[in-house]
Structure 1
Amino acid sequence: MVKLLKVHGSENKFFILDQTLLEKALTDKELIALAIDLCTNILGGADGLLVVGTSDSSLGKMRVINADGSEAKMCGNGLRTISRYLSEKYQLTNFKVETMESDLIVSKAEDFYPGVPAFSVEISPISFQKKDLPFSYKNLNEMIDQKVPEFIPEQTFSAVAVPNPHLISFVPDISQLELGDLGQKLNGKNKYFPEGVNVSFSQILDNNSLFVQTYERGVGFTNACGTGMSATSLIFAMLHPDQFDPEEDITVYNPGGLVKTHITLNKQNKEQSQIKLIGNATFTHEINIDETDLHKDSLNNIVVNETAEEVAYQDFVKTISD
């Protein structure tokens, strides 16, 4: 039998599959089929499948298969849950995890609340160059605090890859209708972001305090997007220095809870800035399945055991809203 986990970071939900424990690793075709089935039909679904593999340079490797079967370069919320999984598997608290574009430093952080373990993860590399997003608009090489009336009149937008591509706009109030419309437009066939883009709207609540909602490429609306909150924090620090304290963490609220980010700006070279994302890594269910069924994407004979961690997380969320 093989054990999968149902997990979440700020209610951004995933399944974890450790390929290193299998007699025979799943092929990419099998992984895509499994991801779509799990994220559609099991335990209320999820935003993606996180795949653990071996690494020559780090403690382990993470791949991210989205709910639609596409593959993401990185996932900040997912990386926290993978970090916890590897931490408990190898009894280590500081190490690196290989992702598609870089090996990232991760570490166990102080629990957010009793029964709510947390991890800190590096978010990088950072690029504002159009080739790395990619995007195309009026021959711009970078898009920072730019009015784009073709998107939404009077709003300004900033684009950054971390390394997932993000388009960010600060607004007085978040319109889910406008966010959803723009997210769908820029993740369908379009001339601005030909490979699609994660779109985030953010409200500045106070000094070092934000609310972020994201329409995620390959997923749609999510409770939270780790790289989206990280990218938004970086743009906030750049554009709103009067409300940014570099000595303190930024609190980023989202529909699923909150995370902390820490931004170290490099004013000479903004792409050498540093981002840390700190948040919960919650395991809600254990799923046991025969490896043969896993290869066949046959999910009719799974055995599910629920943990008590979601209760603790919801107790934590109540402290945010109180």
Structure 2
Amino acid sequence: MHGLGNDFVVIDARSAPLAMSEARARAIADRHAGIGCDQLIVIGEAADADVSMRIFNADGSEVEACGNATRCVPLFVGRDVTIRTQAGLLDARLIDGGASVDMGAPRFEWDAIPLAYPMDTLTMAASWEDLPAPAAVNVGNPHVVFFVDALDGVNFDRLGPLIEHDPLFPARVNVNFAQVVGENHIRLVVWERGAGLTRACGTGACATAVAAIRRKLMTGPVTVSLPGGDLLIGWTPRGHIQMTGPATHVFDGEADWSRF
């Protein structure tokens, strides 16, 4: 499945629970020797929701949230669902061509991002090279957002991993490079923690829209244009984030489990 080109191997573990290790997730995600994906998604049972969702990045690390994958879950199950994730309980409902998801409330406290030490997260007293001071937002996973004048001049491959692994971010961080291109319209490129450059990042779009509204750059709802397409993000201060966008089922298949 994929959401705007952010692609997933989705495994149904509701009737047959499975053990997933970092090494196994990395092997499945390998595009040359495995199946290939940005993230591996395991759908299981949950005591307090319709289903649970575990998320593993291409490097094998397990993470708390993935917005594009969340939109795929109701399409995978075939109906509106509540989803238990490490980031909390999410509501996802089917719409024509995709899904709309209540992503919960963002957090801005420095230790909720988390950062290594106290700092204002709206305009951080930190930057890298000639990038402007960023904002930090936790939307179930940690994000840092840079609003730049032009995306074309940014070296994503160099700055992305440099910032992701900076000691300021003890849990590492997703790095968002954003350009305001119109009224309530942002162009966005995301260096995703554990996956690198991606065609789309749903939580990155949420974090960036929230940061733009907090900085009074726009009021929303915000159209976020990623390399893979557009997401619509709605948020009002002290409210929940609503993310709406496409989800696509590509194919079903079988594989020899022992190969991984």
Return the TM-score normalized by structure 1: 0.75
Contact between 1:10 and 1:256, CA under 8 Å: does it hold in 2? Answer: yes
Q: TM-score, normalised by structure 2?
A: 0.92
Alpha-carbon distance between aligned partners in 1 of 2:111 and 2:250, rounded to the nearest angstrom? 39
Letter in 2 for 1:221: L
3-state SS of 1:287 partner: coil
Deviation at 1:85, TM superposition (A): 1.0
Structure 1 residues not aligned, in runs of 5+: 1-6, 112-116, 267-272, 299-322
CA drift of 1:71 comes to 0.5
Kept in 1, the 8 Å contact 2:12–2:43? The answer is yes
Cα drift, residue 163 of structure 1: 1.4
- 1:14 matches 2:4: no
Shift of the alpha carbon at 1:147?
A: 4.9
Give 1:96 shift: 1.0
3-state SS of 1:28 partner: coil
Query: Distance between the aligned counterparts of 1:57 and 1:101, measured in 2?
Result: 14
Query: Which residue is equivalent to 2:199?
Result: 223
Contact 1:55 1:98 in 2 (8 A): yes
Structure 2: distance between partners of 1:264 and 1:82: 25
User: What is the CA deviation profile of residues 244-271 of structure 1, one whole-angstrom value per residue up to 9, with x for unaligned ones?
Assistant: 24xxx321110111111111223xxxxx
Does 2:131 align with 1:169? no
The whole-number CA distance in structure 1 between the counterparts of 2:145 and 2:160 is: 11
Look up the SS of the partner of 1:148 in the other structure.
coil
Per-residue deviation at 1:175?
4.7
Alignment-derived partner of residue 265 in structure 1: 237
- Secondary structure of 1:184's match? helix
Shift of 1:176: 6.7
Partner AA of 1:210 in structure 2: I
The aligned residue for residue 55 of structure 1 is 46
1:116-155 matches, within 5 Å, as 117-136=97-116, 139-140=118-119, 142-149=120-127, 151-153=128-130, 155=132
**Which ranges in structure 2 are unaligned for 5 or more consecutive residues?**
none
2:151 is paired with a residue of what secondary structure?
coil
Give CA deviations for 1:7-63 in whole Å, capped at 9, x if unaligned. 1001001110011243xx32132xx33321222136872111000010011110000
Distance, in Å, in 1 between the alignment partners of 2:227 and 2:113 is: 26
Residue 104 of structure 1 is matched in structure 2 by: 90
- Give the structure with the larger helix fraction: 1
Aligned mates of 1:72, 1:39 — CA distance in 2:
15
Residue from 181, 196, 216 that aligns with 2:172: 196
Partner letter of residue 174 of structure 1? L
Residue 270 of structure 1 is matched in structure 2 by: none
Offset at residue 214 of structure 1 (A): 0.4
- Whose Rg is larger? 1
SS at match of 2:194: coil
Q: Which amino acid aligns with 2:113?
A: L
Q: Report the RMSD for the aligned CA atoms in angstroms.
A: 2.0
Alpha-carbon deviation of 1:179? 3.2
The Cα shift of 1:126 comes to 1.9
Write out per-residue CA displacement over residues 164-197 of structure 1, whole angstroms, 9 at most, x where no aligned residue: 0000011111157533323211333x32112210
Give the length in aligned residue pairs. Answer: 259
| 2:37 aligned with 1:46 | yes
CA displacement, residues 48-82 of structure 1 (integer Å, 9 cap, x when unaligned): 10000100111100000111100110100000011
Following the alignment from structure 1 to structure 2, what is the Cα–Cα distance between the partners of residues 99 and 38?
21
Paired with 2:176 and 2:164, the residues of 1 have a C-alpha distance of 13
| Matching residue of 1:183 | 160
Work out whether residues 120 and 278 of structure 1, in 8 Å CA contact, stay in contact via their aligned partners in 2: yes
Counting only pairs closer than 5 Å after superposition, residues 266-285 of structure 1 correspond to structure 2 as 266=238, 273-285=239-251
**Residues 36 and 156 of structure 1, relative CA distance in 2, 3 Å threshold:** same
Match of 1:34 among 8, 24, 30: 24
